[in-house]
Chain A
Amino acid sequence: MTKTLKPSSKLLALSAAAMALPALVPQAQAVAPTERTLSYRYTQYNEMGLDAASVSKINADQGGGATQRYDIDINQYAFSTPVGDHFALSIDIQDEVLTGASPWTVVKEDVKATPSDTSDDEVKLVMSGATIKEHRTDASVATTYFYSTGTISANLGFSTEDDYESTSAGLSWGGEFDDKLTGLALGVSFSDDTLNPEEGAYKGTVLQDKVGGWLNGSDPVDGTAKKESVSGFFSASRILTPNWIVQAGVSYTQKSGHLSDAYKANDKRPAERNSYTFNAGSRYWIKPIKAAAHADYRYYSDDWGIDSHTIILALYKNWQKVQIIPSLRYYTQTSASFYSIDATDTTQYNYYADDHRLSNFGAITGGLKLVFKQKPVDWIIAGEYYASGADMSLDKTEDETEHPGLLKYAKFTFGVEHRF
């Protein structure tokens, strides 16, 4: 509106009188979905190979070439349907195959070309080798009950891998108030995971001799180990103008159990991790160009010393029967308090890790998605590029060596969605 118009007492009196008319009695709105959706996505993404200089001689001694990281193929299937007037049911299946290698640990290596070279030792990655093939299947089912002013949802999920099982459940509520101008949502969720790390093909190989074994000896798992998480969130949204809605929320998650990575050589983490997030979002309809502008922000903080900021911007622009969605994401995190890549003697510390994911770094993702709307079918293609590095971090206070394991990947998605 160009001018803010406020309803007068006369309008309110007339509206109240009108509500006595049989066709204008306020009624429970049919908010439940009325159509079925069947959707398929294929996504492939390839982590960029490491340059040979970042990889340890140990890998080279093994035959070299272990600079390849993961190639990942994902098939996603989703089905949702209304059940009666007040319920909806949805089923999601995600099937993922990973092949390649992952960083196992870091070592400091002498890079002197000649005996008179004064170069310092450099941090090199020791890779797990290019033989890992993992298969993960994740299935979840959710049901939502719709009533006049809100929804109640329950979901149950299972995820299985050769060496990992996870069961999760969640319950959430969403309601609308104040003439549906304000939305509130809250929910809780739980997960119960079992790790069953397997001895890899490295037992007894040169890798084991050099670094001490395939499985994580610093926080060994005796057969199986458990991991649990409990999480809760609260959020509020508000319609500000006919073209603008905003949202803010908080969440808390507690993870406990065996939180060390079973496939690292030097990794011993606390048995508990408490994290908090604050998030804010905005959706704005830009009338002159008929496009929706999305902005989302999340602040994350945990008691491992990690703080992070995430900003995602996207534009949903309709152009005839095509929807064009460019997006940009920036992420920055500080390192965990027990993270180090030069802890040569780990025995003096209670906790330590050299995982690049716990280091101080930043990352940028750029993406473009196209949705071709051919009623009743939508065709989707999307591409994305992700790059991370220590120099992209917002936190410049730590004068730390960049972890050589920080990666880049390119991702491609093809999808089709049918409504009926």
Chain B
Amino acid sequence: MKQPIKTVIKPVFSSALVALVAVLVLQGCTHVAPYQRGALSKTEMGWTPDHQDATLQKHIYFAKEASSGGAEAAGGGCGCN
């Protein structure tokens, strides 16, 4: 059995920063001109192509699992958790 009451704060920010820095370091490698962004402008290349589906998924997983949140605006709570 686990010992209750221990507080753990993982060094998540350090790993996050490493990844962010990795992304930013990639800058300057290539230049993609506006006229080359045809594929990128397609709706299915968006971060959230289906807004309603994403809202519902977030709500369902919030009710079934212990994790929530992410790099997006958080909504309100519900009595489900």
A and B directly contacting (CB within 8 A): yes
Q: Which residues of B contact A305 (CB under 8 A)?
A: 6-8
For B55, what are the chain A residues with a Cβ–Cβ distance below 8 Å? 76, 92, 94
Minimum Cβ distance to chain B for residue A108 (Å): 13
Residue pair A357, B79 in contact (C-beta under 8 Å) = no
Choose, from A54-62, A177-185, A201-209, the stretch at the interface: A177-185
Nearest chain A residue, comparing its CB with the CB of B71: A249
Q: Say yes or no: A242 contacts B52, CB within 8 Å.
A: no
Q: Is the interface of B mostly helix, strand, loop or mixed?
A: loop
Q: Which residues of A contact B32 (CB under 8 A)?
A: 181, 239-242
CB neighbours (8 Å) of B61 from chain A are 331
For residue A4, which residues in chain B have a CB less than 8 angstroms away from its CB?
29-30
User: Which residues of chain B have a CB within 8 Å of any CB of chain A?
Assistant: 1-10, 12-13, 15-16, 19-20, 23-24, 26-27, 29-32, 34, 36-40, 42, 44-47, 49-53, 55-56, 59-61, 64-81
Contacts known (A45-B60, A285-B40, A335-B2); A301 close to B79, Cβ less than 8 A:
no
Complex CA gap A336/B3 in Å reads 10
Known: A182-B27, A240-B26, A250-B12. 7 other contacts (CB 8 A): A4-B29, A76-B52, A180-B34, A245-B40, A277-B71, A299-B16, A411-B60
Q: Which 3 A-B pairs have the closest CB atoms?
A: A249-B71, A168-B76, A164-B79
Which single residue of chain B is at the shortest CB-CB distance from A167?
B76
- Which of these, B31, B47, B49, contacts A316 with CB under 8 Å? B49
**Per-residue B-contact encoding for A1-24, CB less than 8 Å = 1, 0 else:** 100101100000000000000000
- Is A175's CB within 8 Å of the partner chain B? no
A379 vs B77: C-alpha distance in the bound complex, in angstroms? 30
- A418 adjacent to chain B (CB < 8 Å): no
Partner of B56, one of A74, A304, A318, A398: A74
Q: Give the residue among A246, A275, A305, A335 with the most B Cβ atoms within 10 A.
A: A305
Say yes or no for A279: interface residue by CB 8 A criterion: yes
Contact of A94 with B79 at beta-carbon distance under 8 Å, contacts A278-B15, A357-B64 already known = no
| A233-B44 contact, Cβ under 8 Å, with A349-B5, A358-B66 | no
Contact indicator B29/A240 (Cβ below 8 Å): yes
Q: Does A331 lie within 8 Å of B78, measured CB to CB?
A: no
A and B contact pairs by CB, cutoff 8 A, 28 listed: A39-B52, A43-B56, A74-B56, A78-B51, A138-B59, A159-B76, A166-B77, A166-B78, A187-B73, A189-B74, A240-B26, A241-B30, A243-B40, A248-B23, A248-B71, A250-B16, A251-B69, A277-B69, A283-B40, A285-B45, A300-B69, A301-B12, A303-B8, A303-B9, A336-B66, A337-B2, A339-B2, A357-B81
Asked if A231 contacts B69 (CB within 8 A), the reply is yes
Query: Which residue of chain A has the shortest Cβ distance to B72 in the bound complex?
Result: A233
* Residue in B closest to A310 when the chains form the complex, CB atoms: B67
Question: Is A407 engaged at the interface, CB distance under 8 Å to the other chain?
Answer: yes
Q: How many Å from the CB of A390 to the closest CB on chain B?
A: 14
CB <8 Å contact, B30 and A357: no
Contacts A39-B52, A239-B40 known; A333 to B65 CB distance under 8 Å? yes
Measured CB to CB, the nearest residue on chain A to B21 is: A248
A235 interfacial by beta-carbon distance below 8 Å: yes
User: B16 → chain A, closest Cβ, in Å?
Assistant: 4
Q: Contact at A306–B34, with CB atoms within 8 Å?
A: no
- Which residues of chain A are near B40, meaning CB under 8 Å? 239, 242-243, 245, 283, 285
Min Cβ gap B41→A in Å is 10
Whether A193 pairs with B77 at a CB distance below 8 angstroms is yes
Question: B23 to chain A: which residues have CB within 8 Å?
Answer: 236, 238, 246-248
Report the Cα distance A306→B2, complex, angstroms.
13
Task: Tell me whether A274 is interfacial, beta carbon within 8 Å.
Answer: yes
Note all chain B residues with C-beta closer than 8 A to A166.
Answer: 76-78
Query: Given the known A-B contacts A168-B76, A276-B12, A278-B12, are A250 and B71 also in contact in the complex, defined by CB atoms under 8 Å?
Result: yes
Chain B, Cβ-Cβ closest to A275: B69
Q: How many whole Å from A229's CB to the nearest CB in chain B?
A: 7
Given contacts A76-B55, A285-B39, contact A191 B76 (CB under 8 A): yes
Output the least CB separation between A32 and chain B (Å). Answer: 15
Per-residue contact bits, chain A 190-215, to B (CB 8 Å; 1 contact, 0 not): 01010100000000000000000000
Asked whether, in the complex, the Cβ of A233 is within 8 Å of the Cβ of B73, the reply is yes
Q: What are the residues of chain B within 8 A of A157 when measuring CB–CB?
A: 75-76
Interchain CA distance A358-B53 in the complex, whole Å = 25
Q: How far is the CB of A235 from chain B (nearest CB, A)?
A: 4
